[in-house]
């Protein structure tokens, strides 16, 4: 009598919750305590054996923390996507640095692929990512000065880089034309 896809949805929710919880470094009991539910509830949800109420899920997600909208932003339909038209890239950039992401979100992905466009004079400033991740890329057009730790180098077309995101790093456009870089990085652990 029950529609079979309910189990499918419940399992999807469960797998996602487990990934997020483990990514946050929390045990079922730790998250349960913070969320005000029992560890059984989380266990059953993660195993896909129940179809949680939105209230329960909301409280649990608050302990991670993540919002319901972001949680559901990863929908099963999206995971089938393989090809992306150029205009379908998700724009996440700000200012003179344009970042176009392949896919609308990172959920379930091991990598984030970016098309980075540095306008003339674009400069990320010195940034220090706190999360444990790695990133690398290849320059497609223009030139960019890359500083990683104590090392500094101007990269041209075809040049590449790869480093640990925890190392302080900086990108600065140089030369007369915009710089385009295709990069990849492991996502921040939730």
- Per CB under 8 A, contacts with a second copy among 59-88 are 59, 67-73, 75, 87
53 touches a second copy by CB under 8 A: yes
51 touches a second copy by CB under 8 A: yes
Cβ neighbors of 163 (< 8 A, separation 6 or more) are: 134, 135, 136, 148, 149, 169
- Per CB under 8 A, contacts with a second copy among 6-35 are 6, 9-10, 13
> Quick count: other Cβ atoms within 10 Å of Cβ 83?
6
In order of 106, 110, 116, 139, 163, the CA distances from 168 in angstroms are 23, 22, 19, 20, 10
Q: Distance between CA 22 and CA 190 in Å, rounded?
A: 8
Nearer to DNA, 15 or 184 (CB): 15
Nearer to a second copy, 132 or 141 (CB): 141
- Size, binding site for a second copy by CB under 8 A: 31
Q: What is the CA angle 135-141-142, rounded to 5?
A: 100
Shortest separation between residue 148's beta carbon and a second copy, angstroms? 24
Per partner kind, with CB cut-offs from 5 to 8 A, the member of DNA, a second copy, none near residue 30 is DNA
Per partner kind, with CB cut-offs from 5 to 8 A, the member of a second copy, DNA, none near residue 154 is none
């Amino acid at each position: 009598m029950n529609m079979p896809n309910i189990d499918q949805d419940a399992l999807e929710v469960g797998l996602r919750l487990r990934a997020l919880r483990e990514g946050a470094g929390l045990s079922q009991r730790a998250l349960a305590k913070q969320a005000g539910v029992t560890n059984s509830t989380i266990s059953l949800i993660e195993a896909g054996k129940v179809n949680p109420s939105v209230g329960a899920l909301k409280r649990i997600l608050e302990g991670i923390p993540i919002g319901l909208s972001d949680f559901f932003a990863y929908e099963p339909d999206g995971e089938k996507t393989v090809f992306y038209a150029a205009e379908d890239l998700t724009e996440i950039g700000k200012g003179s640095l344009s970042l176009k992401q392949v896919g609308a979100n990172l959920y379930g992905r091991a990598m984030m692929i970016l098309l980075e466009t540095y306008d003339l004079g674009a400069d990320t400033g010195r940034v220090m990512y706190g999360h444990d991740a790695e990133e690398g890329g290849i320059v497609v057009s223009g030139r960019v000065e890359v500083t990683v730790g104590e090392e500094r180098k101007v990269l041209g077309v075809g040049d590449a880089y790869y480093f640990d995101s925890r190392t302080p790093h900086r990108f600065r456009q140089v030369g007369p034309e915009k710089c385009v870089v295709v990069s990849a990085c492991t996502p921040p652990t939730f």
